[in-house]
Amino acid sequence: MHPGPNHPPPYVMLQDQGHPGPHGRNPPRFNGQYRPNGHRKSSCLRCYCCCYCCIFITLVVIIAAVVISLIIINPSVPKYSINDFSVKAFNVTPDFNLHAQFMVTVKAVNPNEKISIIYEKGSTVQLKYSGMKLCTGVVPHFRQPTSNTTMINVDLNGDLKGSDFQGSIGESLMKKIKSGRVPLTVSVRVPVNVGLGNYNMLLNPIGIYVDASMVVNNLSQPDKKVQISDTKYDFNFGFKFKK
């Protein structure tokens, strides 16, 4: 039976099977911008962002803790000065061999109310005249309490052979001794640590370097009081101790 003029056909041709569309029989379900691994890249990016944020927050917390600790502790640099100088022995033989013994008293002031100072082993103290080393000694190993002033006695001993002492520097020194004005330099090199309570705060000691130049009126008479004048100090420190 054929449909009449007022009846639609029983079927409708949707597409010619001989000519499929541009995507064949399986048209895409998503647009062309889609990437199969897009979700993985997004997850990695979020992971990186979280890691960087955690590192940044950790650094901020550490810096804040250090700043707050410094504000609470309020560290101050210790002060050093030559308080006394005495002659124990100064003997020159006819062939200009020199044997000398002195004692230098260093005044060490620790102004910190919460930090103690630990003077460790390995220090050197040298007494020099015009660059020539006359005597050497060491700073005793001890712990200086907070808000404390300590007098550190350092024994200096030296022996010079005539070949070292008999020369222009030796002759100049003898002339200065006779004039009563002998310029000397005391060089101190000492490793120190800082303590908070019973704990040392540094893994490795720092170096304190003090060069004290002065003029003394006596260098050869043990029974005579030595007067010190024209003192000048050069103070430095290093994060790693070097002699």
pLDDT score recorded for residue 74: 63
Helices (H), 8-126: 38-73
Shared domain check, 213 and 130: yes
Shared domain check, 175 and 66: no
Shared domain check, 121 and 56: no
Shared domain check, 106 and 138: yes
218 falls within a domain: yes
3-state helix, strand, coil in the chain (%, to 5): 20, 40, 40
Round to whole Å and give the CA distance between 118 and 18: 96
Name the more confident of 48 and 86. Answer: 86
Shared domain check, 88 and 202: yes
Q: What is the mean pLDDT of the chain?
A: 82
Shared domain check, 94 and 213: yes
Question: Are the C-beta atoms of residues 218 and 230 closer than 8 Å to each other?
Answer: no
Q: Which domain holds residue 55?
A: 37-73
5 falls within a domain: no
Q: What is the pLDDT of residues 160-181, one digit of tens each?
A: 888 877 778 888 998 999 999 9
Check pLDDT > 90 for residue 75: no
pLDDT score recorded for residue 6: 58
Where among 56, 73, 90 does a domain terminate? 73
pTM of the model: 0.69
Q: What is the pLDDT of residues 106-136, one digit of tens each?
A: 999 999 998 999 999 999 999 999 999 999 9
Shared domain check, 167 and 54: no
Shared domain check, 179 and 63: no
Shared domain check, 83 and 63: no
Q: What is the pLDDT of residues 179-196, one digit of tens each?
A: 999 999 999 999 999 998
Shared domain check, 182 and 104: yes
12 falls within a domain: no
C-alpha torsion 198→199→202→208, nearest 10: 10
171 falls within a domain: yes
